[in-house]
């Protein structure tokens, strides 16, 4: 109802079972909004199941380099592009949809977002951006700052340079650059350097709204 383009269901830091992910994907379908699931890890054996439930894409955390990015993406693509298994599942109307068309559509349309938040991923970010399966290079600010040895210091020149490098790598490969936001005030500056794919947390939204409401009730 607020007009967002998609919802990220966070199975890395959130406490979700495959059943609750499926229930939320169904709720997203009913609301007319795309569901992207953040996997617990790059090598998670749950990724294909999230897509079988009807998820529209996967956000992979803690990518360690180009080889890891390639391996992670292979879990969401059907052969010959990857190794995802084909079954009669909710996403293909339990096998009643033409499977050849389903495979082609899924391989073309399923979003692959790769988080650049480790030293290995940052070192190979241009190679990761060049992967045909990569759609979004996504910065996880907490882990990226931690990887740089400056946890939470988002104004540090090393962190700023890393964020700019990710944006440049994505732009150079014709991919989208994404990032997790702490507040909406960050958006204009990030737009200027090329970021287009933004997320924030439900907690940030609730806190911002709650503080605004409380401020409106403050006494002079």
- Is 0.75 topped by the overall pTM? yes
pLDDT of residue 44: 92
The pLDDT value given to residue 219: 80
d(CA 142, CA 208): 20
Active site residues: 13
Fold for domain 6-216?
A: TIM Barrel (3.20.20)
Instruction: Give the number of C-alpha atoms closer than 13 A to the C-alpha of residue 106, restricted to the C-beta side.
Output: 31
Residue 220 has pLDDT above 80, yes or no: no
pLDDT band, very low/low/confident/very high, at 169 (cuts 50, 70, 90): very high
At a CB cut-off of 8 Å and minimum separation 6, what does 213 contact? none
Chain segment 14-71, per-residue pLDDT in tens: 999 999 999 999 999 999 999 999 999 999 989 999 999 999 999 999 999 999 999 9
Residue 95: count other Cβ atoms within 10 Å of its Cβ: 12
Q: Counting Cβ atoms within 10 Å, is residue 2 exposed (0-12), middle (13-18) or buried (19+)?
A: exposed
Task: Give the Å distances, CA to CA, from 208 to 13, 56, 131, 190, 198.
Answer: 21, 28, 37, 20, 17
Tokens of 124: 């190979």
Q: For residues 54 and 25, is the Cβ–Cβ distance under 8 A?
A: yes
pLDDT at 100 over 90: yes
Tens digits of residue pLDDT in 67-94 = 999 999 999 999 999 999 999 999 999 9
| 60: β partners | 114
Query: For 104-134, what is each residue's pLDDT tens digit?
Result: 999 999 999 999 999 999 999 999 999 999 9
| Domain ranges, ordered by start, for the chain | 6-216
What's the pLDDT score for residue 218? 87
Q: What percentage of the chain reaches a pLDDT higher than 90? A: 98
pLDDT given for residue 216 in this prediction: 94
């Amino acid at each position: 109802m607020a007009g967002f383009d998609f919802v990220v269901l966070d199975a890395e830091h959130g406490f979700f079972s495959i059943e609750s992910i499926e229930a939320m994907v169904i709720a997203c379908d009913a609301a007319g909004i795309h569901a992207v699931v953040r996997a617990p890890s790059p090598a998670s054996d749950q990724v294909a199941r999230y897509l079988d439930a009807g998820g529209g894409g996967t956000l992979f955390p803690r990518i360690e380099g180009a080889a890891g990015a390639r391996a992670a993406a292979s879990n969401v693509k059907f052969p010959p592009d990857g190794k995802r298994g084909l079954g009669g599942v909710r996403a293909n109307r339990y096998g009643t949809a033409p499977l050849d068309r389903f495979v082609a559509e899924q391989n073309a349309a399923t979003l692959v977002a790769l988080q650049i938040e480790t030293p290995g991923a940052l070192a190979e970010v241009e190679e990761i951006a060049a992967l045909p399966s990569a759609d979004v290079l996504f910065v996880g600010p907490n882990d990226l700052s931690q990887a740089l040895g400056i946890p939470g210091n988002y104004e540090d020149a090393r962190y700023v340079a890393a964020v700019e490098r990710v944006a440049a790598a994505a732009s150079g490969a014709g991919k989208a650059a994404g990032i997790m936001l702490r507040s909406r005030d960050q958006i204009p500056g990030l737009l200027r350097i090329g970021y287009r794919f933004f997320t924030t947390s439900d907690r940030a939204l609730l806190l911002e709204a709650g503080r605004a409401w409380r401020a409106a009730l403050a006494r002079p």
